[in-house]
Amino acid sequence: MTWITLRAALKALKQQGRVVSSEHIKTLLAGESPEDALRELGLLFNRTAYQQNNPKFLQLVQSASDKPKSESPKSQSTPRKTESPPSQPALSYAWKDCPIKLLILIQPADDDGQRQAIISATTYEDAPLIAIENAADLQWPASILQLLKQLKHDLPTRKHLNQSTHRAKNTQLLPSAKPETNSNSSTHQVNLFS
């Protein structure tokens, strides 16, 4: 599924027999929870794209009745048995029932010594909501501060393990040099460029 403009969303809704005005959508966007109101119309809302003035901030939600139906078989004389795959339970989008994935990526310090934190929140495999904040301005819970302190303490060990792993991989990739003997001499030569 791709993000679409307001105009494209209105056109798609009209094709589905749902006539909605752009003014109504704009009123919903100005409300307290446009995500919920737009979802009732069959639209997903990308708040980040909307706030960044990206015109493609809506997405159609396809219900089972909106999906294309398979064509009927040409021959109706012999009924075919179709086995449907075992049905999976519908994903719950109720706040208390759905898993929430929250990711925080703290970028390296910029020239001013500031670190940006990219925060994303999503559920299931849906498009994430994204915010970018100054990491120093965030109020971290004690458990996360403890993890960050532990990670900072472990960095030298992690660096050593990473270098050892890369060294071992590189050593395995290098061909071993075999000495070549000269029958007239007792010295051994190693051919480095064969």
Residue 66 has pLDDT above 50, yes or no: no
Check: CB of residue 103 under 8 Å from CB of residue 119. Answer: yes
Check: CB of residue 20 under 8 Å from CB of residue 13. Answer: yes
Residue with more model confidence, 152 or 73:
152
Q: Give percent of the chain with pLDDT exceeding 90.
A: 25
Per-residue model confidence (pLDDT) at position 72 = 43
34-51 pLDDT, tens digit each: 888 888 888 888 888 888
pLDDT band at 193 (very low <50, low <70, confident <90, very high): low
138-160 pLDDT, tens digit each: 999 999 999 999 999 999 898 98
Per-residue model confidence (pLDDT) at position 69 = 43
Check: CB of residue 25 under 8 Å from CB of residue 45. Answer: no
76-to-22, 79, 94, 191 alpha-carbon distances in Å = 46, 6, 43, 77
Check: CB of residue 55 under 8 Å from CB of residue 61. Answer: no
For the whole model, what pTM was predicted? 0.42
Domain locations in the chain as residue ranges: 6-60, 94-158
Which of 3-7, 114-118, 190-194 bottoms out in mean pLDDT, i.e. has the lowest?
A: 190-194
Check: CB of residue 119 under 8 Å from CB of residue 104. Answer: yes
